[in-house]
Structure 1
Amino acid sequence: MQQRTKWLVIVLIGSVWFLNACSTLQKESPTISPFTFTDQQGEAFGSDELEGRLWVANFIFTECDTVCPPMTTKMADLQEAIQEEQLDVELVSFSVDPQVDTPEKLKSYLLQFTDDDSNWHLLNGYSQQEIEQFAVDEFQTLVNKPQDSTQVLHGVNFYVINENGVVIDDFSFSDPELVDKILQSLNK
């Protein structure tokens, strides 16, 4: 059973890579549809609060055994760089395991990386099916939680969204220049 999960991970990562490679051929960037979810404070948060603002998004979950801790570390590095440059940017991390990631658990998770959540919102408040569809529809990335696993397969990109809710750039978290590239994108 564990071998099957490893193969699923390999297939999903390959699929995400392929979709990301194909996404560079697109002429029109996706615009994020209106949404309202729940943040780590247990408060409603969504597109209304992000309207007219730059924001950076990614997909993570608190029980992740692989990419999420380094992705969250990169987001914390980005938060610090944004503060140093005095940019008004919101950070949004969508949980891909919403039944496990309660607001309290998300808040505790975030405290492992930063004690400042003034501009960083970890979101849940949707079903597994809803986040899987949201990821595909809004960010053109895959999210899948196999029934026989506690791990969730998901894309590893960071998305830069402009004041109009349009995804203007996306970058792999594994890019060693991730923070610098996102800052350049935010300063366009």
Structure 2
Amino acid sequence: MKNYSYIGISFVILIFGIIVVPEIIDRINEREVVSSNRSDGQEERASENIELEYIMVNQEKKKVPAFEFIDQHGDTITNKDYEGKVYIAEFFFSTCPTICPIMKENLVQVQDVFAKNDDFGIASFSIDPQHDTPGVLKEYAALNNITHPNWHLLTGKREEIYDLANSGFNIYAGEDENAEGGFAHSGYFALVDKEGYIRSRKDRHGNPIIYYRGSVPRKSIVEPGEEEPQIDILIADAKKLVNDK
């Protein structure tokens, strides 16, 4: 009887090895593949030759409205200063303890790509203008390697900045005592073409993505379902608009 028991146990182990172990190995290999490709393939998609969409609102192309603010050098900057330039717009504040440092680092990397291109710019609008005076913003620029001559850190009347964010760009910004730092805002970047229209590529479903995620580090590795980096595709799309005649 004991021999038969041993034979039975050995048979079970053999079946386990034949059926179950290969499945476990396949799952491990699959997990390794997923782990090594957990980003959304933005580098591959960045190389795609695609057409950029206009953002349509009430069947009209969405254009950035006129604005006028003061930059870190104390100069008056308006939307006309960006005419003929492709630029990225963001809303931030210098004391932001959460997503702004990531957004800034991403934009510094974008700035470096376009360092010698005068047809490119960045507009960073402070949503805490009471604190973010031109002097504060100038120091912030120096501390954070903001060097592109067309990267303007802008401050002015709070109501005008909030109106530009929420109505002009449809990118939320506002005071929030429950938010870290006292202000709530999205981590999106808007891409604006040489004529002042907001542009973007389409997503996998054929719809414009409208804005680009600025609060996800450029080279971050993400798990399925997490927000994926979009800085490489933003750079590619900005280059396309810069090169368009």
- Counterpart of 1:134 in 2: which secondary structure? helix
In structure 1, the residue matched to 2:167 is 137
Q: Deviations over 1:32-69 (max 9, x none)?
A: 11111100001100111111211111111011111111
Q: How many residues are aligned here?
A: 163
In structure 1, the residue matched to 2:138 is 107
Distance 2:88 2:165 in 1: 14
1:165 matched to 2:196? The reply is yes
In structure 1, the residue matched to 2:80 is 48
In structure 2, the residue matched to 1:21 is none
Which residue identity is paired with 2:132?
D
Contact 1:29 1:168 in 2 (8 A): no
The 5-angstrom pairing of residues 4-83 of structure 1 reads 28-83=60-115
Q: Deviations over 1:124-164 (max 9, x none)?
A: 0122x222221111111111113577421011111110011
TM-score by length of 1: 0.78
Q: For the aligned residues, what is the CA RMSD?
A: 2.2
Distance 2:60 2:113 in 1: 29
Larger displacement relative to structure 2 (144-153 or 48-57): 144-153
Q: Work out which of the two has the higher radius of gyration on C-alpha atoms and give 1 or 2.
A: 2
Larger displacement relative to structure 2 (158-167 or 27-36): 27-36
Moved over 4 A (4+): 24-29, 147-150
Which residue identity is paired with 1:171?
Y
Contact 2:84 2:194 in 1 (8 A): yes
Which residue identity is paired with 1:124?
T
Which residue of 116, 119, 125 maps to 2:150? 119
List alignment gaps of at least 5 residues for structure 2. 1-54, 201-210, 219-228, 241-245
Q: Deviations over 1:86-135 (max 9, x none)?
A: 462011100011111000101111112215141210000122x2222211
In structure 2, the residue matched to 1:93 is 124
Percent identical residues: 28
1:82–1:152: structure 2 CA closer, same or farther, 3 Å change rule? same
- Counterpart of 2:69 in 1: which secondary structure? strand
Instruction: Give the superposition deviation at 1:179.
Output: 3.0
Contact 1:60 1:93 in 2 (8 A): yes
Which residue identity is paired with 1:152?
F
